[in-house]
Amino acid sequence: MDYSNLFVCLMGIGTVFVGLVCIILLVTLMSYVCRKSDAKSVAPAPVAVPADAPKPAIRPELIAAVSAAIAEDMGTDISAIRIISMKQI
């Protein structure tokens, strides 16, 4: 039996579409199962963080990496860049 090109294309597209629908259904089912299992588990007690906890300092390695990335993006030498300040967000 000789199949036409249109038939082969439609069967391929149909197979992919059915496969994607099956994947969507499986992901939806797993999401539902995970939400139900999260509702049954007990949440741990929150840990209190002191308000005066020291913020981590910005390391020189981080400043060097940021300087190198900026210099590469601008197409200049790293010595032409001067970073005045950095603050962690």
Averaged pLDDT score across all residues of the chain: 85
pLDDT at 79: 87
In a domain, 52, yes or no: no
87 assigned to some structural domain: no
- The answer to whether residue 47 is domain-embedded is no
Half-sphere exposure of 83 (CA within 13 A, CB side): 16
> Residue 48 falls within a domain, yes or no?
no
- Mean of the pLDDT values across residues 39-62? 70
The number of distinct structural domains making up the chain is 1
In which domain, by residue range, is 34 found? Answer: 5-40+57-80
> Per residue in 58-70, pLDDT tens?
788 888 898 999 9
Q: What percent of the chain has pLDDT over 90?
A: 43
pTM over 0.75: no
